[in-house]
Chain A
Amino acid sequence: MSRRFSHLGEYAAMLIIWLGLFLLFGAISHNFLSWRTLSTLANRIPTLAIVAAGMTLVLIVGGIDLSVGSILGLGGAVLGVTLVDWHWPLWAAMLACLAMGLTAGTLNGLISVGLGIPSFIVTLGMLEIARGLAYLTTHSQTKYIGASVEALARPIGGLGCSPAFLSAVTLIVMLQLVLSRSIFGRYLVAIGTNEQAVRLAGINSRPAKITVFALLGLLTGLGAVFYTSRLGSSDPNAGVGLELSAIAAVVIGGTSLMGGRGSVVSSFFGVLIIATLEAGLAQVGASEPVKRVVTGSVIVIAVILDAWRHHLAGANFPLLKRLLRSRVPLKL
């Protein structure tokens, strides 16, 4: 029981921080505080949100995946080629895109887990391979697809948010349930905490680890569908740097890069915070370089606070120490 409540406390803290950020920009800029801003935010984040959700699981088992941005680009290329050049029906093209994501993710998992090569290196290779394939298949051309794919990203009348956003939120809730309430989820946390102990408890850790990489690949394929539908065209350059935004969001959400600890829902709040920062800074007229400096600082501060909360509680910061002891999660 107490465990579930502590999770809720964490979510509440993240929500408050996000609301604070939102109101802060609202105070600075008159136009910011509106339904329209919220709706724009909601429709901009589905891709990053589901990739960050999958990335959370990968970080929890102590891995990392740098190839998601390129896989997203390749997914866009698959959609473009199948829809525009081959005139496939939309459902078949989407299936092809998901299958490509699943394959790429499974390869990441099989090679890194099966052969014991650090996932950092394997997915760095996949980053190059997938991007290269995206350029090859599209001859580096952006393909205009048009209305057929745009429905997914168009806000539903009256609701203000798109089917893409709704499915992203549904997926995130489901993944959080799997993480905290299923045997598979428990294994992931256990593997990230001490894989050797898990093995000696009679559990084969490899299938679970491979599954996590495959799942992230599949989610990235879905992210490619969302992304393409928002643009209405397929762009082989899509998703450059996505891996870093996703990792940043996950880390802001308090997931440990060392594995063993994390939450999919908190990563979603991380995504919200990053997206709100970007939208808000744009609204107040900050230039692109300034946005990057601020976002980067937020990431670093979030990680420092998290490290204090989890490892260094008891160092030479009496005030912080007291804050940390009082069970209130202190998190960005």
Chain B
Amino acid sequence: MPPTNPLIQVTGLQKSYSVPVLSDFSFELEAGEVHALVGSNGAGKSTFARILAGLTHADAGHIQLLGRPYAPRSKREAEHAGIVMVMQELNVIGTLTVAENIFLSRLPRRVGFVRFAQLKKMAREALGRVGLEELDPSTPARQLGVGQQQLVEIAGALAQNCQILILDEPTAALTDPEIERLFANIRQLQTEGVGIIYISHRMDEIRRITNRVTVLRDGRRVATHGAQEVTPAGLVREMVGHDLPERKGTSSRVTAEVAMRVRKLTAGDRVREVSFEVHRGEILGLAGLIGSGRTETLRAIFGADRKDSGEIYLGTANQPVSIRNPADAVRAGLGMVPEDRKLDGLLLAQSIRVNTTLATLARHVRGGGWLDFRAETRTTNSLGERLGVRCASPEQTISELSGGNQQKVVIARWLARNCGVLLFDEPTRGIDVAAKDTIYQLLRDLAAEGKAVVVVSSELTELMALCDRILVMSAGTISAEFLPGQWSQEKITHAAFSGYLDRAEEGRAPVA
């Protein structure tokens, strides 16, 4: 590539939420270049893309677009400047037609009325560019499959005459012929001088379609390579960084007694024949990329989502337990701390007491079945003390607490029930370091009491410090199992990507 004036030049970009997400990040994109961004979960790829697309703002740093300072305040501003992003989550509005979706923000109109004939003509052209010329632009978007919806979004982006196109995991939902067509489009755009930022997990795609690769780790740029120089192993090593000191050997609290056995659990297309067992006294980690089926596995076990097949055995029982909904799971002695505290865990407008005793109300009654507020307060206070919940009183509304303290209350709810098997989905997401330590210690204490603990986490260091065993999920199946001493960030990351590599290679053959 000849050294030209870069399309976009980023220096010293900073962004933090509660923790830094991007620190001193720098980046460059040439006209006509496809530039891949890779990194583990939370490395900062999506945050960077969102800043460029005007969906969030940087705390500090400079972005220059064609030599001029660029700091979009909104998506609209970014689009005016010629930067368009196609998101990982679909933004198609199902009730509108394909044509309306493509041109939603700029419908052709005359005195306030949409010119449908013109709209249809424009939509046909746009669809033609992504190989959907067969599709009637007046089809309601919800009738399309996920892959076609994705292509419609891309068509929408292309129709804006953008200078820079950001694609976040564009092939996740596409079939192979669709991927081929997308790549053909990308090449066409390249010749037109459009710069493309391509975020993906898939190594083979990166090598095929991109010119350069930038690796991110913990919000920093680790390296930028020419796409032909990279190897999957090398990239993984750079994404992971240096291995941290880790614990050796299995803890003595792990018993030989099986607490729960999951056999060939299948749910939707995210969980495929997952089998594992967890022992009393053990902390079992579930690692994997976001979307690899970790959360879905926990939810299927707990009955929160429907499972298609597979059995769950508790203790030494020969008969599987029937778990059709969370009530069945709780009755069988399971507890789950969900990933999204506010949406799935808390009664935000209620007090700490009400939140703590929600799953154990039947144990807080006296004569005639009336609730015993004093007993509830006692339970809330003693669990609050044990977990170090910082609050003014048990009657304080839970929305006033910090994230860490809220999480402790969700955990307290299950401690009050004394569950034998506890499932934790991202137990330390969005909470501060001190509260994290309390939660780690708590998980160890629970295991020491003989409970079985399953932890899903995107932070490998967390799992490696905490777990007695780590299972890695990739593309809906368990791809590897590690014991302390055997694992490393590199190995785990490699296993986390493995399912996607396989799938890509499987997929390559039938294309021709």
Contact = CB atoms under 8 A, between A and B. Distances in A.
Contact of A202 (B327, B345, B350, B393): B327
Nearest to B335: A202
A193 B355 CA distance: 11
A284 interface: no
B442 interface: no
B327 to A, nearest CB: 5
Given A3-B373, A181-B371, A183-B371, A193 B330 contact: no
Q: Of B330, B361, B365, which is in contact with the most chain A CB atoms at under 10 Å from its CB?
A: B361
Given A193-B350, A260-B350, 15 more contacts: A181-B370, A182-B369, A182-B371, A183-B362, A183-B365, A189-B354, A190-B350, A190-B358, A194-B348, A199-B325, A199-B326, A201-B413, A202-B331, A202-B359, A260-B347
A196 B304 CA distance: 10
Interface string B420-447: 0000000000000000000000000000
A189 B349 CA distance: 10
Interface of B: 302, 304, 325-327, 329-331, 336, 338, 343-351, 354, 358-359, 361-362, 365, 369-371, 373, 393, 395, 413
Nearest to B304: A200
Contacts of A1: 373
B349 A200 contact: no
A197 B359 contact: no
B347 A193 contact: yes
B350 A200 contact: no
Contacts of B336: 200
Contacts of B370: 177, 181-182
A2 B361 contact: no
B327 A196 contact: no
B329 A260 contact: no
Interface string A23-40: 000000000000000000
B365 A201 contact: no
A306 B395 CA distance: 21
B395 A201 contact: no
Contacts of B358: 186, 190, 197-198, 201, 203
30 contacts: A181-B370, A181-B371, A183-B362, A183-B369, A183-B371, A186-B361, A186-B371, A189-B350, A190-B350, A190-B358, A193-B348, A193-B349, A193-B350, A194-B343, A194-B347, A197-B345, A197-B347, A198-B347, A199-B326, A200-B304, A200-B326, A200-B336, A200-B344, A201-B358, A201-B359, A202-B326, A202-B327, A202-B329, A203-B326, A260-B350
The 6 tightest CB contacts between A and B, nearest first, are: A202-B330, A193-B347, A183-B361, A201-B359, A201-B358, A181-B370
A261 interface: yes
A2 to B, nearest CB: 5
A196 B330 CA distance: 15
Contact of B327 (A3, A182, A186, A204): A204
Nearest to A190: B347
Contacts of B361: 183, 186-187
Contacts of B350: 189-190, 193, 260
B388 to A, nearest CB: 22
A171 B477 CA distance: 57
A189 B395 CA distance: 15
Contact of A186 (B330, B346, B354, B413): B354
Contacts of B338: 200
B359 to A, nearest CB: 5
A266 B238 CA distance: 63
Contacts of B346: 194, 197
A53 B359 CA distance: 27
Contacts of A200: 302, 304, 326, 336, 338, 344-345
A196 to B, nearest CB: 6
Given A186-B361, A194-B346, A194-B348, A204 B325 contact: yes
A219 to B, nearest CB: 21
A2 B365 CA distance: 19
Nearest to B358: A201
B127 to A, nearest CB: 35
B367 to A, nearest CB: 12
A116 to B, nearest CB: 15
